[in-house]
Amino acid sequence: QLILSSGKVTGSGVETALAMAILHQALRAAAFVNPEPTPVMAAAEKVLRSLYPGRSAAVFFAVYDSTLRELRYALRGHPRPVLRLADGSASELPGAASTPFGFGEISVAQPDEDRLRVPAGALLVLRTASFSSDQTLSGFQSDAEIIATIEHLDPQRRPAGTLLGSLCGAQGCADDVAVLTALFR
């Protein structure tokens, strides 16, 4: 199994960086106990709320089973990941919109997760973005424009770096933005 996570905690500075590191460690530790998205997310949110009350976080967590070629995932307030197929077509992962951590806990009895079969040659693209809804990344006005850019990525030639360059431009991003890609063979 492969574990994937991405996220961003509100704020800036050393305390925010520490909160993000602790959040990623909480995700990892919870996955060792039970590698299912809903309980992992619930445990990580409890850690964030206990150690950093009043903070919120956008988080994506997934488990990929290579035998079944299945991706089980949950997201809370995180930009919806994009799956680019081998033919170049791309679309956001399905699922309901959700609120970030810090605005209520996940109920393990009612899973907030989805499953998706991942075909060979697919590229999963995760990106973080600013919590501020009035900011755009280098002129991109919509997720549709970002998806169109992802459709033109070469999955073999630094797709994360290429997308980050497209999102932020030559001057770089004004805010912390990260791009993570996973190519499924």
At 34-68, the pLDDT tens digits run 999 999 999 999 999 999 988 899 999 999 999 99
Model pTM?
0.84
Q: Phi-psi category of 67—alpha, beta or left, where left has phi over 0 and alpha has psi -120 to 50?
A: alpha
CA 53 remoteness from chain centre: 22
pLDDT digits (tens, 9 = 90+) for 139-170: 444 778 888 888 888 888 888 888 877 777 76
Q: What is the pLDDT of residue 175?
A: 66
Evaluate whether 12 touches 72 at the Cβ level (below 8 Å). no
User: To the nearest whole number, what is the mean pLDDT of the chain?
Assistant: 84
